[in-house]
Structure 1
């Protein structure tokens, strides 16, 4: 359930690296092959999937979740699904979790909503991955608007030492 290696660029949140450069540097430090692609803005999950040439369930949402002690974690769930709070609380072993406000998520990760990824986060929070990501090539946020990344789900899980469990429900 560890967070894996410290992210590259961790001390550079206010430095010269862009979000996608932080993502690429962290992926390289973890020996995690990723493909960064330019993507126009999309107004829906279905539109984003169409632009990327994938199904909506191939897009992974990286959600920042706040614990009652003020620490955070990443919950990664496939498109078309949302966090099951009872399931995630059980896996994490806590009684209370919540989605923080956008400004709090930005402060916790260095990324705006819609661009969030555990890769290159300014703090290495634990990663919890829905089991539906196993064995699939997935797309996810790449640290800044206008970009997505593709990665093998199993490689992503291994790179972070992520906890894999059934943590989602259909939307």
Structure 2
């Protein structure tokens, strides 16, 4: 199969969401220079943007950590919830190999491997924006529906940046 025949990142996201019965809205979005600028472009608060971070375990497997904008992973908290002593952020090329998405576009939806999802409790009860698998696109989704669609583990896994 040639690269041209493979579905685009946002098409993979849409197909996976449909399979899961997850209602999403994918839309084109201009590039932004900051979290605040990105939120303003979408008419939302910075905390309504969720970062999908791929995290590597010491056994070579991965997980997704979903963290609200303006917050970062609290490594001791995430390690405790996952039940491991060591986690780390992989290099950009390793993240691409693990998910099929480039940094800045990563989402559990349509990932080439279905890694477990750990969501910060701050995404509950709100509509959130997140990457849609391809530069220039974002999506809106209910945080609660996203958590349910992945049977995500929800916990306090972040700290203010």
Q: TM-score scaled by structure 2?
A: 0.97
In the TM superposition, what is the alpha-carbon distance from 1:117 to its structure 2 partner?
A: 0.2
Alignment of 1:116-131 (within 5 A): 116-131=106-121
Q: Secondary structure at the match of 1:75?
A: strand
4+ aligned runs moved over 2 Å, structure 1: none
Q: Secondary structure at the match of 1:47?
A: helix
2:85 alignment counterpart: 95
Do structure 1's residue 167 and structure 2's residue 157 form an aligned pair?
Answer: yes
Pick the aligned partner of 1:81 from 63, 66, 71: 71
Which one has more relative contact order, counting CA pairs under 8 Å at least 6 apart?
1
Instruction: Give the paired residue count.
Output: 160
- Shift of the 44–155 alpha-carbon distance from structure 1 to 2, 3 Å rule, reads same
What is the alpha-carbon root mean square deviation over aligned residues?
1.3
**In structure 1, C-alpha distance between the alignment counterparts of 2:59 and 2:4, rounded to whole Å:** 25
Q: Secondary structure at the match of 1:140?
A: strand
Q: TM-score scaled by structure 1?
A: 0.92
Q: What per-residue deviation string (whole Å, max 9, x for no partner) do you get for residues 18-52 of structure 1?
A: 00000000000000000001100011000100011
Alignment of 1:1-171 (within 5 A): 16-171=6-161
